[in-house]
C-alpha cells in the first residue's frame, strides 16, 4: 500500500534530546525466549478488531490519543521544576521526601514523579545489589574497591530507611505518571519497567493482553518523546516499526523515522540502517518514506 505525506505526517520538533551525538535502542533486558514471546504478543494485539498503530508522530499531543487516558495536567518534563529540586536538596531519606514529591507529582509535576521512580528503583533493588556487591567485595583484593562498596551500601541503608512496602510498590505507578506528563526519560524507559514483572515464559503467556496494552502505551510515549525532538525516541521508533515489536511492522514508517534522524545528523549508523532496509523495500515504499520525512522537515523549518 502506498503512503503519502498527507495521511502519514511525521511532525517532530527540532529540539535535540541532549548533548549526546549517538542514540541507541532502549531494549528490555530479557532472555531470548521472553523477547520472542513478547514479540509474539504484538501479533495478538487485537488484529481481528482492525487495530492499527498510531500515525507517525500525530500533530495532536500523544496524550490526546484514546489509549492515553490521563487525568493529570501536563508540565514540561525536560528540566526539574524548582519545587522538586528544593525537596531533593533538603532531604536525605527518601521516606521523608516521598509525601511532598508525591503531592507535587499528583498535581502535575513530571520531574517529581520521575524522582519518585528513581528513588524507589534504587531501594527496591537494594537487597539484591547488596548481595552482589558483598560477593564482589569478598572476591576482590582491591582495598579501594571494597571501601567504595562499603560506602555505597551504607548510603543505600541510610536513604532507603523508613520506606514501606506499600511505597516501594508504587515504583511502576510513578514512571507511568512521569511518562504521561511528558518526562522524556520516563517515556523511553516505560516499556522496560512495565514489563519487568513478566520474567518467566508462564507469566508472559498468562498476561498477553496486559503486555499488548503496555506496548500500545509505550508506543504513544515514544511518539510523544519523538515529537519533542528526542533522538533516541526517533531511533527507537524506527527500529520498533521495522521489527514490529511495539506495533505492526511498517517498513515505510521505519524508513521515514530513520531518514529523519539521518537528516538531523549525529547518528552515524542511520545511513547503514537505511541502506540495509532499502534492499527489502519497493521503489514506491522508499519514495513514500522520503516524502514523509521531507514533509516533516519542511514543517519544522516553517516554525
pLDDT digits (tens, 9 = 90+) for 168-191: 999 999 999 999 999 999 999 999
| Chain segment 207-235, per-residue pLDDT in tens | 999 999 999 999 999 999 998 889 999 99
Q: How far apart are CA 251 and CA 147, in angstroms?
A: 52
Structure confidence at residue 273 as a pLDDT band (50, 70, 90): very high
Residue 269 pLDDT > 70: yes
Provide the 8-state DSSP code for 267.
-
Largest CA distance in the chain: 64
User: With 70 as the cut, is the pLDDT of residue 164 above it?
Assistant: yes
Q: What is the tens place of the pLDDT at every residue in 56-101?
A: 544 333 333 333 333 333 334 444 568 899 999 999 899 999 999 9
Average pLDDT value for residue range 109-128: 92
Amino acid at each position: 500500500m502506498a503512503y503519502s505525506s498527507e495521511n502519514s505526517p511525521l511532525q517532530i520538533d527540532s529540539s535535540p534530546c541532549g548533548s549526546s551525538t549517538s542514540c541507541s535502542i532502549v531494549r528490555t533486558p530479557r532472555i531470548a525466549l521472553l523477547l520472542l514471546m513478547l514479540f509474539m504478543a504484538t501479533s495478538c494485539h487485537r488484529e481481528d478488531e482492525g487495530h492499527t498503530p498510531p500515525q507517525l508522530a500525530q500533530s495532536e499531543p500523544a496524550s490526546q490519543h484514546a489509549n492515553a487516558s490521563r487525568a493529570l495536567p501536563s508540565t514540561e518534563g525536560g528540566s526539574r521544576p524548582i519545587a522538586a529540586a528544593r525537596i531533593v536538596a533538603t532531604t536525605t531519606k527518601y521516606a521523608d521526601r516521598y509525601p511532598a514529591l508525591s503531592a507535587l507529582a499528583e498535581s502535575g509535576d513530571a520531574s517529581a514523579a520521575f524522582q519518585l521512580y528513581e528513588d524507589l528503583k534504587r531501594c527496591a533493588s537494594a537487597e539484591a545489589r547488596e548481595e552482589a556487591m558483598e560477593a564482589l567485595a569478598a572476591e576482590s583484593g582491591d582495598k579501594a574497591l571494597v571501601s567504595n562498596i562499603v560506602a555505597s551500601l551504607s548510603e543505600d541503608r541510610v536513604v532507603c530507611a523508613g520506606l514501606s512496602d506499600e511505597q516501594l510498590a508504587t515504583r511502576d505507578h510513578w514512571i507511568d505518571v512521569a511518562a504521561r506528563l511528558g518526562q522524556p526519560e520516563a517515556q523511553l524507559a516505560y516499556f522496560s519497567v512495565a514489563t519487568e514483572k513478566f520474567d518467566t515464559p508462564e507469566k508472559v503467556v498468562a498476561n498477553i493482553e496486559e503486555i499488548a496494552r503496555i506496548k500500545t502505551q509505550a508506543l504513544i510515549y515514544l511518539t510523544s518523546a519523538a515529537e519533542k525532538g528526542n533522538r533516541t525516541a526517533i531511533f527507537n521508533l524506527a527500529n520498533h516499526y521495522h521489527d514490529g515489536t511495539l506495533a505492526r511492522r511498517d517498513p515505510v514508517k521505519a524508513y521515514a523515522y530513520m531518514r529523519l534522524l539521518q537528516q538531523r545528523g549525529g547518528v552515524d549508523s542511520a545511513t547503514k540502517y537505511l541502506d540495509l532496509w532499502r534492499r527489502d523495500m519497493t521503489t514506491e515504499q522508499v519514495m513514500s518514506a522520503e516524502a514523509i520525512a521531507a514533509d516533516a522537515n519542511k514543517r519544522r523549518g516553517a516554525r
